[in-house]
Amino acid sequence: MKVQGAEGKIDLGHRLRIAHVITRLINGGADENTVHSCNWAAQGGHDVVLLHGETVQPEIIAKVDPRVKLIGVPGLTRSISPVSDLRALLALIRRFRALNADIVHTHTSKAGILGRLAAWAAGVPAIVHGVHIVPFVNVGVAERFVYLALEKLAAPVTSAFISVSEGIRDLCLSAGVGHPDKHYVVRSGFDLDRFRNADPPDRWRDLLRLKPGAPRPPVLLMIAAFEPRKRHAEFLDAFNKVA
Protein backbone atom coordinates (compact mmCIF):
# COMPACT_ATOMS: atom_id res chain seq x y z
CA MET A 1 0.00 0.00 0.00
CA LYS A 2 1.42 3.37 -1.04
CA VAL A 3 0.43 6.26 1.19
CA GLN A 4 -0.15 9.13 -1.22
CA GLY A 5 1.40 12.46 -0.37
CA ALA A 6 3.98 10.93 1.97
CA GLU A 7 6.55 9.95 -0.67
CA GLY A 8 9.95 11.39 0.17
CA LYS A 9 8.76 12.65 3.55
CA ILE A 10 9.24 9.42 5.50
CA ASP A 11 12.45 7.42 5.66
CA LEU A 12 11.07 3.87 5.67
CA GLY A 13 14.53 2.56 6.49
CA HIS A 14 14.52 3.95 10.01
CA ARG A 15 12.49 3.21 13.11
CA LEU A 16 9.12 4.87 12.58
CA ARG A 17 7.27 6.97 15.12
CA ILE A 18 3.63 5.91 14.84
CA ALA A 19 0.74 7.44 16.78
CA HIS A 20 -2.65 5.73 16.87
CA VAL A 21 -5.69 7.64 18.12
CA ILE A 22 -9.03 6.20 19.24
CA THR A 23 -12.00 7.76 21.01
CA ARG A 24 -12.50 5.00 23.58
CA LEU A 25 -10.66 1.83 24.61
CA ILE A 26 -13.40 -0.68 25.31
CA ASN A 27 -14.20 -4.27 24.37
CA GLY A 28 -15.20 -3.58 20.78
CA GLY A 29 -14.12 -4.55 17.30
CA ALA A 30 -12.48 -1.23 16.44
CA ASP A 31 -10.60 -1.27 19.73
CA GLU A 32 -9.36 -4.84 19.23
CA ASN A 33 -8.26 -3.93 15.70
CA THR A 34 -6.40 -0.88 16.97
CA VAL A 35 -4.62 -2.76 19.75
CA HIS A 36 -3.54 -5.51 17.33
CA SER A 37 -2.19 -2.88 14.91
CA CYS A 38 -0.25 -1.15 17.70
CA ASN A 39 1.16 -4.41 19.04
CA TRP A 40 2.22 -5.59 15.58
CA ALA A 41 4.08 -2.35 14.83
CA ALA A 42 5.76 -2.33 18.26
CA GLN A 43 6.85 -5.94 17.81
CA GLY A 44 8.33 -4.88 14.46
CA GLY A 45 10.65 -2.47 16.24
CA HIS A 46 8.80 0.81 15.74
CA ASP A 47 8.02 3.44 18.37
CA VAL A 48 4.27 3.26 18.92
CA VAL A 49 2.02 5.51 20.97
CA LEU A 50 -1.70 4.87 21.49
CA LEU A 51 -3.62 8.02 22.38
CA HIS A 52 -7.07 7.37 23.74
CA GLY A 53 -10.06 9.19 25.16
CA GLU A 54 -11.37 9.28 28.70
CA THR A 55 -13.38 6.03 28.53
CA VAL A 56 -11.23 2.92 29.00
CA GLN A 57 -11.78 -0.65 30.17
CA PRO A 58 -9.07 -2.65 31.94
CA GLU A 59 -9.78 -5.76 29.85
CA ILE A 60 -8.64 -4.07 26.63
CA ILE A 61 -5.75 -2.26 28.32
CA ALA A 62 -4.41 -5.64 29.44
CA LYS A 63 -4.08 -6.68 25.78
CA VAL A 64 -1.74 -3.81 24.88
CA ASP A 65 1.91 -4.76 24.36
CA PRO A 66 4.15 -3.22 27.08
CA ARG A 67 6.20 -1.58 24.32
CA VAL A 68 3.20 0.52 23.28
CA LYS A 69 2.98 3.79 25.20
CA LEU A 70 -0.53 4.70 26.34
CA ILE A 71 -1.47 8.37 26.61
CA GLY A 72 -4.86 9.71 27.68
CA VAL A 73 -6.23 12.73 25.83
CA PRO A 74 -8.23 15.13 28.03
CA GLY A 75 -11.53 16.10 26.48
CA LEU A 76 -11.65 13.26 23.95
CA THR A 77 -15.12 11.79 24.46
CA ARG A 78 -17.70 10.09 22.25
CA SER A 79 -20.39 12.73 22.75
CA ILE A 80 -20.24 16.03 20.87
CA SER A 81 -19.11 18.95 23.03
CA PRO A 82 -17.56 22.04 21.40
CA VAL A 83 -15.53 22.91 24.50
CA SER A 84 -14.24 19.38 25.10
CA ASP A 85 -13.65 18.80 21.39
CA LEU A 86 -11.52 21.95 21.10
CA ARG A 87 -9.60 20.92 24.21
CA ALA A 88 -8.92 17.49 22.72
CA LEU A 89 -7.92 18.97 19.35
CA LEU A 90 -5.34 21.28 20.91
CA ALA A 91 -4.02 18.47 23.12
CA LEU A 92 -3.57 16.22 20.08
CA ILE A 93 -1.73 18.92 18.14
CA ARG A 94 0.70 19.37 21.03
CA ARG A 95 1.21 15.62 21.36
CA PHE A 96 1.87 15.07 17.66
CA ARG A 97 4.41 17.89 17.59
CA ALA A 98 6.15 16.60 20.71
CA LEU A 99 6.24 13.05 19.33
CA ASN A 100 7.44 14.24 15.91
CA ALA A 101 5.24 11.47 14.51
CA ASP A 102 5.93 10.01 11.07
CA ILE A 103 2.46 8.46 10.83
CA VAL A 104 -0.80 9.20 12.59
CA HIS A 105 -3.41 6.44 12.30
CA THR A 106 -6.86 7.42 13.55
CA HIS A 107 -9.76 5.14 14.46
CA THR A 108 -13.50 5.69 15.08
CA SER A 109 -15.50 8.78 14.18
CA LYS A 110 -14.65 11.42 16.80
CA ALA A 111 -10.95 10.55 17.05
CA GLY A 112 -10.91 10.24 13.27
CA ILE A 113 -12.00 13.83 12.70
CA LEU A 114 -10.06 15.49 15.52
CA GLY A 115 -6.99 13.29 15.05
CA ARG A 116 -6.66 13.95 11.33
CA LEU A 117 -7.14 17.70 11.67
CA ALA A 118 -4.63 17.79 14.53
CA ALA A 119 -2.11 15.72 12.56
CA TRP A 120 -2.47 18.06 9.60
CA ALA A 121 -1.99 21.11 11.84
CA ALA A 122 1.09 19.48 13.39
CA GLY A 123 2.62 18.77 9.97
CA VAL A 124 2.56 14.96 10.22
CA PRO A 125 3.75 13.48 6.86
CA ALA A 126 1.30 10.56 6.65
CA ILE A 127 -2.25 10.60 8.01
CA VAL A 128 -4.20 7.33 7.85
CA HIS A 129 -7.80 6.80 8.91
CA GLY A 130 -9.17 3.39 9.84
CA VAL A 131 -12.83 3.15 8.82
CA HIS A 132 -14.52 0.66 11.15
CA ILE A 133 -18.03 2.06 10.81
CA VAL A 134 -19.65 4.76 8.68
CA PRO A 135 -21.18 7.45 10.92
CA PHE A 136 -23.44 9.04 8.30
CA VAL A 137 -25.69 6.03 7.56
CA ASN A 138 -28.78 4.87 9.49
CA VAL A 139 -29.10 8.27 11.17
CA GLY A 140 -31.43 11.24 10.81
CA VAL A 141 -31.15 13.83 8.06
CA ALA A 142 -29.51 16.44 10.29
CA GLU A 143 -27.01 13.97 11.75
CA ARG A 144 -26.14 12.66 8.29
CA PHE A 145 -25.51 16.20 7.05
CA VAL A 146 -23.20 17.02 9.98
CA TYR A 147 -21.27 13.74 9.94
CA LEU A 148 -20.84 13.75 6.18
CA ALA A 149 -19.69 17.38 6.18
CA LEU A 150 -17.07 16.60 8.83
CA GLU A 151 -15.83 13.53 6.95
CA LYS A 152 -15.50 15.56 3.74
CA LEU A 153 -13.67 18.27 5.70
CA ALA A 154 -11.08 15.77 6.93
CA ALA A 155 -10.80 13.79 3.67
CA PRO A 156 -8.38 16.15 1.84
CA VAL A 157 -5.76 15.83 4.60
CA THR A 158 -6.12 12.03 4.74
CA SER A 159 -3.29 10.15 3.04
CA ALA A 160 -5.14 6.81 3.07
CA PHE A 161 -8.43 5.29 4.21
CA ILE A 162 -8.32 1.69 5.47
CA SER A 163 -11.77 0.11 5.60
CA VAL A 164 -12.47 -3.20 7.30
CA SER A 165 -14.69 -4.38 4.42
CA GLU A 166 -15.59 -3.65 0.82
CA GLY A 167 -19.05 -2.59 1.96
CA ILE A 168 -17.66 0.09 4.28
CA ARG A 169 -15.34 1.34 1.54
CA ASP A 170 -18.16 1.49 -1.00
CA LEU A 171 -20.37 3.49 1.38
CA CYS A 172 -17.60 6.08 1.74
CA LEU A 173 -17.01 6.29 -1.99
CA SER A 174 -20.71 6.53 -2.85
CA ALA A 175 -20.98 9.46 -0.43
CA GLY A 176 -18.02 11.22 -2.02
CA VAL A 177 -15.65 10.83 0.93
CA GLY A 178 -12.07 10.72 -0.36
CA HIS A 179 -10.62 9.82 -3.76
CA PRO A 180 -10.92 6.16 -4.83
CA ASP A 181 -7.13 5.88 -5.11
CA LYS A 182 -6.82 6.57 -1.39
CA HIS A 183 -9.16 3.79 -0.26
CA TYR A 184 -7.95 0.34 0.76
CA VAL A 185 -9.57 -2.69 2.39
CA VAL A 186 -7.79 -4.54 5.21
CA ARG A 187 -10.00 -6.88 7.20
CA SER A 188 -9.64 -7.16 10.95
CA GLY A 189 -7.50 -10.10 11.98
CA PHE A 190 -8.79 -12.56 14.56
CA ASP A 191 -7.62 -15.86 15.99
CA LEU A 192 -10.12 -18.22 14.36
CA ASP A 193 -8.58 -21.43 15.69
CA ARG A 194 -10.27 -21.04 19.07
CA PHE A 195 -13.61 -21.15 17.25
CA ARG A 196 -12.70 -23.84 14.73
CA ASN A 197 -11.33 -26.11 17.45
CA ALA A 198 -13.94 -25.35 20.11
CA ASP A 199 -15.62 -28.35 21.74
CA PRO A 200 -19.44 -28.25 21.97
CA PRO A 201 -20.89 -28.46 25.48
CA ASP A 202 -21.64 -31.99 26.66
CA ARG A 203 -25.28 -31.19 27.34
CA TRP A 204 -26.02 -29.22 24.17
CA ARG A 205 -29.33 -31.08 23.75
CA ASP A 206 -30.48 -29.78 27.13
CA LEU A 207 -29.52 -26.24 26.15
CA LEU A 208 -31.71 -26.55 23.05
CA ARG A 209 -34.48 -28.28 25.04
CA LEU A 210 -34.43 -31.30 22.74
CA LYS A 211 -36.02 -34.60 23.63
CA PRO A 212 -33.88 -37.75 23.34
CA GLY A 213 -33.53 -38.78 19.71
CA ALA A 214 -34.90 -35.51 18.32
CA PRO A 215 -33.06 -34.22 15.21
CA ARG A 216 -30.69 -31.33 15.64
CA PRO A 217 -32.51 -28.13 14.56
CA PRO A 218 -31.02 -25.05 12.91
CA VAL A 219 -29.77 -22.54 15.48
CA LEU A 220 -29.84 -18.77 15.05
CA LEU A 221 -27.22 -16.86 17.04
CA MET A 222 -26.43 -13.23 17.70
CA ILE A 223 -22.84 -12.79 18.80
CA ALA A 224 -22.12 -9.35 20.22
CA ALA A 225 -21.07 -7.58 23.38
CA PHE A 226 -23.88 -7.46 25.95
CA GLU A 227 -24.46 -3.71 25.90
CA PRO A 228 -27.21 -1.35 24.67
CA ARG A 229 -25.46 -0.23 21.47
CA LYS A 230 -25.59 -3.80 20.12
CA ARG A 231 -29.42 -3.64 20.28
CA HIS A 232 -30.11 -7.10 21.69
CA ALA A 233 -33.62 -6.02 22.72
CA GLU A 234 -34.48 -5.03 19.15
CA PHE A 235 -33.12 -8.34 17.87
CA LEU A 236 -35.23 -10.34 20.31
CA ASP A 237 -38.33 -8.32 19.44
CA ALA A 238 -37.82 -8.86 15.70
CA PHE A 239 -37.02 -12.54 16.16
CA ASN A 240 -40.17 -13.05 18.22
CA LYS A 241 -42.26 -11.75 15.31
CA VAL A 242 -40.84 -14.21 12.77
CA ALA A 243 -40.24 -17.26 14.97
Cα dihedral across residues 95, 99, 102, 108: positive or negative? negative
Rg (CA), the chain: 21
Q: What is the pLDDT of residues 41-90, one digit of tens each?
A: 999 999 999 999 999 999 999 999 999 999 999 999 998 899 999 999 99
pLDDT of residue 36: 94
CA neighbor of 23 nearest in space, from 143, 86, 103, 109: 109
Those residues whose C-beta lies under 8 Å from the C-beta of residue 117, and which sit 6 or more positions away, are 89, 153, 154, 157
| pLDDT(156) > 90 | yes
CA neighbor of 17 nearest in space, from 63, 53, 64, 50: 50
Question: Residues 30, 141, 145, 56: what is their CA dihedral angle, to the nearest 10 degrees?
Answer: -30
Average pLDDT on 98-126 reads 96
| pLDDT(210) > 70 | yes
Q: Count CB-CB contacts under 10 A for residue 9.
A: 13
Q: What is the pLDDT of residues 130-141, one digit of tens each?
A: 999 888 888 888
Q: How confident is the model at residue 231 (pLDDT cuts 50, 70, 90)?
A: confident
Give CA–CA dist 168/165, Å, rounded.
5
pLDDT of residue 55: 92
Q: Average per-residue pLDDT in the chain?
A: 90
| Most confident stretch, 11-25, 28-42, 115-129 | 115-129
Q: How confident is the model at residue 4 (pLDDT cuts 50, 70, 90)?
A: low
Give CA–CA dist 150/153, Å, rounded.
5
Residue extents of the structural domains in the chain: 17-185, 203-242
| Range 17-185 has CATH code 3.40.640.10 | no
The continuous run of DSSP H or E covering 221 comes out as none
CA neighbor of 57 nearest in space, from 24, 79, 33: 24
* Residue-by-residue DSSP string for 51-97: EE-S-B-HHHHTTS-TTSEEEE-TT--SS--HHHHHHHHHHHHHHHH
| pLDDT(2) > 60 | no
Average pLDDT on 105-110 reads 95
Q: Which residue has the higher pLDDT, 219 or 172?
A: 172
Please report, as a single letter, which amino acid is at residue 71: I
Q: How confident is the model at residue 28 (pLDDT cuts 50, 70, 90)?
A: confident
Give CA–CA dist 164/162, Å, rounded.
7
Please report, as a single letter, which amino acid is at residue 35: V
Q: Count CB-CB contacts under 10 A for residue 148.
A: 18
Those residues whose C-beta lies under 8 Å from the C-beta of residue 106, and which sit 6 or more positions away, are 20, 21, 22, 112, 115, 116, 119, 127, 128, 129, 130
